[in-house]
Amino acid sequence: APAPAPAPALVPTHCPYCSLQCGMNLRGSGETVEVVERDDFPVNRGALCGKGRTAPAVLSSRVRLTGPLVRRPATGRLEPATWEEALRVTADGLRRTRARHGADAVGVFGGGGLTNEKAYALGKFARVVLGTSQIDYNGRFCMSSAAAAHNKAFGLDRGLPFPLEDVPRTGCVVLVGSNLAETMPPALRYLTELKDNGGRLIVVDPRRTRTAEQADLHLAPRPGTDLALALGLLHLVVAQGRTDEEFIRERTTGWEDARAAAMAHWPELVERITGVGVPQLRSAVALFCDAPNAMVLTARGPEQQSKGTDTVGAWINLALATGNAGRPLAGYGCLTGQGNGQGGREHGQKADQLPGYRRLDDPAARAHVAGVWGVDPDSLPGPGRSAYELLDALGRDVRALLLMGSNPVVSAPRAAHVEERIRSLDFLAVADVVLSETAELADVVLPVTQWAEETGTTTNLEGRVLLRRRALTPPPGVRSDLEVMHGLAGLLGHEKGFPTDPEEVFGELRRASSGGPADYAGISYRRLEDEQGVFWPCPEADGPADGPDGPNQDTVGTADGTNGPDGPGRRSVEAGGRPDGPAERPRGHTGEPDRPAGDPHPGTPRLFLDRFATPDGRARFVPVVHREAAEPTDAEYPVVLTTGRVVAQYQSGAQTRRVDELNAAAPGPFVELHPQLAARVGVSDGEPVTVVSRRGRAVAPARVSEAIRPDTVFMPFHWPGAGRANTLTNPALDPTSRMPEFKVCAVRLERAAG
Ligand code: SF4
């Protein structure tokens, strides 16, 4: 009898969606790919949410793009084209715009889901091939406020400065504006284990979410007032003598000003601002300060505000004042959202940054990266517009756009305006896996390979660099984003410098990042094959690493929240070379044990244990004060709208809305509102309700629930059309991070006709 066919191999890889980057195995080919549990990856230990489990559905030719499309003048429609034609039309569109209006009339918009290699290549493509300063990405809408606050306080931005495995072992977690149970369900176990170990959980959220239901204490402030809440807690900490004076004295600067700012926020005042009662504030302080160690974790709630940087700063101040930073099992961290939200901001697709998380206006950083790229540093453009400002400039200063891995027609604030700006472009090319709402408006659509069809690295919310392996052969009509950039670069006169092999691109990224804040020089594909990820910074074995002055002092984060050059301790970087400081083995903020010279750097799971990444090694308190949201409620718009996500959909929904199982679970938008508000408006559960802001109207079924404050409504933002939540949101920007105010704007409710 013939031998049975061998079982198809399991390929270990990672989920394409959120920043947890859950491990999974894939088996199969073509239209029959299945996800098989992978329990060796420590972050999720086999658990997946519905999005990860069903991710192969988007690989199906039923829902994806399978060939390029070009808009035909004769019909005005997108119609099939060859790759040769699609790339030629794209190159012509970009070249023509540049010739007529200058390099900065060409924009590039990237995404936090792009692999590190793609994000790196896209930043290089924009600056070297197009010569434009106008590049930013949708990660600006995700965690930029936390990144800025991190840089201000600690001199370095890595979402979590400790691995998730530390969370269950601390004594108390304050979770601010995060609904883990819906956004990354496998991570909920860290909180359940915390409680099983006797730890306490405080959740700050205007809604009683499934995550808040797990809490020992749920604080439900009015949206946009959590800065005041943090100040009120710090006031009580000081008043009760529960500060850690030794830590403040030995490891921080700026306490007196931060203390004075907090003392101006009396608990009774904070109660009036936030709606959280003084007894609850006192309970929170007791839980937090009674714990031997504590952590503060923030997500989009405090961050997506026009004062997001200050709001996160206020929570960091609380952690610092109580000594809960820079030591084991304690600290502040941000739960990044998008799949490569962390890595996507480190490698150069951000308006103000170069690879390695270097700052674009730092001459030493420019010289280093230009050396790797083989170009004149003076040829590199300066910083460009932030994401919303770039979208707002479309059709005006910016006339052509290359967009990769983003769907701003659904995900940008003031989305109807953004859609209008996109429609007014002279030329739009979109590279995507599906025909998203933004791709539908393009002149050229370039269909690209997906997560399971290409190899590449991502960096999860812990700063753990991971290898996503190619498990499948892509369909013949699609190309990788790297191949797209290679093809376009060639047509635009850059035959070299844009390889299509991800490992080759990663090798260049390692050199470009070497000596920078996010140093990947010691990480290789081979290591990633063998290890469960490697935490950055990971310098070369005997490379520059962090000398005695702390890490990467050529480009440490500045007190203004950016990764800028900054005073004492700064070392110069030669073109193509390394920081010229002493080549000592890494030590300092990494807290790692000594290792023999020449051994590979082990990576850095825990940061700041001995010193922070500031020039003097001390964390910086930043004095912040409460201020109102950019658009306070008034008689005409008396209700606060806050937006967010649901478990079965991801971001703009471009992929997950194409998965039957997810659509069945979350078929469309809704307006969550309290029974008292529903009664005032005169709507019942399930009836359509119109939400009106100064920017437009959206209509969706009412979901009446006591889980939300009576003065607030909630809408998820995953859908286009009449129920598009972002039609309503306010693009008011945080002055430091340029984050729009997705989380709070003023609206009124009306009964929808019919
Ligand atoms: Fe894990 Fe996030 Fe993927 Fe869900 S979406 S499986 S939580 S990585």
Which residue, by CA, sits nearest to atom 1 of ligand 1?
A: 22
- State in Å: Cα 647 to ligand 1 middle: 10
Tokens (6 digits) for 465:
């660099």
To test the pocket of ligand 1, the residue of 19, 22, 189 to mutate (highest count of ligand atoms within 8 Å of its CB) is 22
Q: Name the average pLDDT for the chain.
A: 91
At 241 the pLDDT is 98
Q: Which atom of ligand 1 is nearest to the CA of 24?
A: 6
Tokens (6 digits) for 611:
């010193």
Class of domain 639-751: mainly beta
Question: Could you tell me which of 5, 1, 401, 346 has the C-alpha nearest to residue 158?
Answer: 346
Q: What DSSP line would sit under 299-342, residue for residue?
A: -HHHHSSTTHHHHHHHHHHHHHHTT-SSSTT-EEEE---STTTT
Rounded to an integer, the average pLDDT of 22-27 is 95
- State in Å: Cα 746 to ligand 1 middle: 32
Instruction: Work out the end-to-end distance of the chain between its first and last CA atoms, rounded to an integer number of angstroms.
Output: 69
88: exposed, middle or buried (Cβ count in 10 Å: 0-12, 13-18, 19+): middle
Q: How far apart are the C-alpha atoms of 61 and 749, rounded to whole Å?
A: 41
- State in Å: Cα 320 to ligand 1 middle: 31
Question: Could you tell me which of 411, 321, 343, 366 has the C-alpha nearest to residue 147?
Answer: 343
Phi and psi of 284, rounded to 5°? -65, -45
Rounded to an integer, the average pLDDT of 327-352 is 92
Grade residue 588 by pLDDT with cuts at 50, 70 and 90. very low
Which residue, by CA, sits nearest to atom 2 of ligand 1?
A: 18
E strand intervals along 195-255:
200-204, 217-219, 252-253
- State in Å: Cα 428 to ligand 1 middle: 31
**Does 744 have pLDDT greater than 90?**
yes
User: At what angle are helices 226-239 and 308-321 packed, to 10 degrees?
Assistant: 20
**Side chain identity, residue 456:** G
Helix (H) or strand (E) holding 731: strand 730-733
Q: Which atom of ligand 1 is nearest to the CA of 16?
A: 3
Q: How far apart are the C-alpha atoms of 93 and 86, rounded to whole Å?
A: 11
203-253 pLDDT, tens digit per residue, is 999 999 999 999 999 999 999 999 999 999 999 999 999 999 999 999 999
Question: Could you tell me which of 155, 533, 507, 556 has the C-alpha nearest to residue 359?
Answer: 556
Least confident of 173-177, 543-547, 724-728: 543-547
SS3 at position 354: strand
**Does 684 have pLDDT greater than 90?**
yes
Q: Which atom of ligand 1 is nearest to the CA of 48?
A: 6
SS3 at position 151: helix
- State in Å: Cα 483 to ligand 1 middle: 27
* Angle (CA) 656 114 539, round 5°: 140
Grade residue 169 by pLDDT with cuts at 50, 70 and 90. very high
Alpha-carbon dihedral sign for residues 453, 455, 457, 460 = positive
Alpha helices in 362-473 (DSSP H): 363-373, 387-392, 408-411, 415-423
Which residue, by CA, sits nearest to atom 4 of ligand 1?
A: 49
Q: Which atom of ligand 1 is nearest to the CA of 20?
A: 8
Which residue, by CA, sits nearest to atom 7 of ligand 1?
A: 184
Helix (H) or strand (E) holding 677: helix 675-681
At 61 the pLDDT is 85
User: Tokens 């939400």 correspond to what residue?
Assistant: 691
Rounded to an integer, the average pLDDT of 540-566 is 46
To test the pocket of ligand 1, the residue of 19, 37, 184 to mutate (highest count of ligand atoms within 8 Å of its CB) is 184
> In the chain, what's the furthest Cα-to-Cα distance?
85
Q: How far apart are the C-alpha atoms of 524 and 506, rounded to whole Å?
A: 8
Domain residue ranges of the chain, discontinuous segments joined by + = 72-142+341-513, 160-334, 639-751
Q: Which atom of ligand 1 is nearest to the CA of 18?
A: 2
- State in Å: Cα 76 to ligand 1 middle: 39
- State in Å: Cα 112 to ligand 1 middle: 15
32-36/740-741 β-pairing: unpaired
Tokens (6 digits) for 607:
């940061």
- State in Å: Cα 629 to ligand 1 middle: 32
At 337 the pLDDT is 87
Q: How far apart are the C-alpha atoms of 227 and 312, rounded to whole Å?
A: 8
pTM here is 0.92
Q: pLDDT > 90: what percent of the chain?
A: 88
Q: Are 12 and 469 in contact (CB under 8 A)?
A: yes
The architecture that CATH gives domain 160-334 is 3-Layer(aba) Sandwich (3.40)
At 595 the pLDDT is 56
- The answer to ipTM > 0.90 is yes
Grade residue 8 by pLDDT with cuts at 50, 70 and 90. low
Grade residue 628 by pLDDT with cuts at 50, 70 and 90. very high
- State in Å: Cα 186 to ligand 1 middle: 7
Q: How far apart are the C-alpha atoms of 550 and 547, rounded to whole Å?
A: 6
Rounded to an integer, the average pLDDT of 183-207 is 97
At 720 the pLDDT is 97
Q: Which atom of ligand 1 is nearest to the CA of 185?
A: 7
At 541 the pLDDT is 77
Residues 6 or more apart whose CB falls under 8 angstroms from that of 513 comprise: 346, 347, 355, 356, 357, 519, 520, 521
Q: How far apart are the C-alpha atoms of 439 and 422, rounded to whole Å?
A: 10
243-276 pLDDT, tens digit per residue, is 999 999 999 999 999 999 999 999 999 999 999 9
- State in Å: Cα 189 to ligand 1 middle: 13
- State in Å: Cα 45 to ligand 1 middle: 12
Q: Which atom of ligand 1 is nearest to the CA of 55?
A: 3
Q: Which atom of ligand 1 is nearest to the CA of 49?
A: 4
Which residue, by CA, sits nearest to atom 3 of ligand 1?
A: 52
At 550 the pLDDT is 37
SS3 at position 242: coil
To test the pocket of ligand 1, the residue of 19, 48, 461 to mutate (highest count of ligand atoms within 8 Å of its CB) is 48
Q: Are 410 and 669 in contact (CB under 8 A)?
A: no
- State in Å: Cα 175 to ligand 1 middle: 19
Q: Are 221 and 723 in contact (CB under 8 A)?
A: no
- State in Å: Cα 626 to ligand 1 middle: 35
Question: Could you tell me which of 305, 307, 304, 287 has the C-alpha nearest to residue 296?
Answer: 287
**Does 554 have pLDDT greater than 50?**
no
To test the pocket of ligand 1, the residue of 14, 17, 178, 342 to mutate (highest count of ligand atoms within 8 Å of its CB) is 17
Rounded to an integer, the average pLDDT of 551-574 is 38
Rounded to an integer, the average pLDDT of 463-486 is 96
**Does 691 have pLDDT greater than 90?**
yes
Q: What DSSP line would sit under 465-513, residue for residue?
A: EEEEPP-SPPPTT-B-HHHHHHHHHHHTT--SS--S-HHHHHHHHHHHH
- State in Å: Cα 367 to ligand 1 middle: 39
At 558 the pLDDT is 53
Alpha-carbon dihedral sign for residues 83, 87, 89, 90 = positive
**Does 565 have pLDDT greater than 50?**
no
Tokens (6 digits) for 7:
């079982």
CB atoms within 10 A of CB 46: 15
Q: How far apart are the C-alpha atoms of 72 and 412, rounded to whole Å?
A: 28
Q: Are 41 and 532 in contact (CB under 8 A)?
A: yes
Rounded to an integer, the average pLDDT of 173-201 is 96
Tokens (6 digits) for 718:
């995953």
**Interior/surface letters 153-171, b for 16+ CB within 10 angstroms, e for the rest:** bbbbbbbbbbbbebbbebb
To test the pocket of ligand 1, the residue of 13, 14, 18 to mutate (highest count of ligand atoms within 8 Å of its CB) is 18
**Does 581 have pLDDT greater than 50?**
no
Residues 6 or more apart whose CB falls under 8 angstroms from that of 227 comprise: 302, 305, 307, 310, 311, 314, 624, 626, 627
Question: Could you tell me which of 160, 121, 115 has the C-alpha nearest to residue 468?
Answer: 115
- State in Å: Cα 646 to ligand 1 middle: 13
Q: How far apart are the C-alpha atoms of 542 and 177, rounded to whole Å?
A: 41
Which residue, by CA, sits nearest to atom 6 of ligand 1?
A: 52
Residue 302 Cα distances to 144, 311, 644, 651, 741, angstroms: 11, 6, 12, 18, 10
**Does 570 have pLDDT greater than 70?**
no
To test the pocket of ligand 1, the residue of 20, 190, 461 to mutate (highest count of ligand atoms within 8 Å of its CB) is 20
Query: CA neighbours within 13 Å on the CB side: how many for 345?
Result: 31
Q: How far apart are the C-alpha atoms of 376 and 746, rounded to whole Å?
A: 49
**Does 356 have pLDDT greater than 90?**
yes
SS3 at position 200: strand
Q: How far apart are the C-alpha atoms of 466 and 458, rounded to whole Å?
A: 5
Q: What DSSP line would sit under 543-567, residue for residue?
A: SS--BTTBS-TTSPPPTTSS----S
- State in Å: Cα 22 to ligand 1 middle: 6
Pocket of ligand 1 (CB under 6 A): 15, 17-18, 20-22, 44, 48-49, 51-52, 184-186
Q: Which atom of ligand 1 is nearest to the CA of 21?
A: 8
95-144 pLDDT, tens digit per residue, is 999 999 999 999 999 999 999 999 999 999 999 999 999 999 998 998 89
Rounded to an integer, the average pLDDT of 617-628 is 96
Tokens (6 digits) for 283:
């309970």
Does domain 72-142+341-513 fall under CATH 3.60.130.10? My reply is: no
CB atoms within 10 A of CB 503: 15
Tokens (6 digits) for 553:
């002092």
CB atoms within 10 A of CB 277: 14
Tokens (6 digits) for 302:
């405090």
**Does 503 have pLDDT greater than 80?**
yes
- State in Å: Cα 110 to ligand 1 middle: 21
At 2 the pLDDT is 67
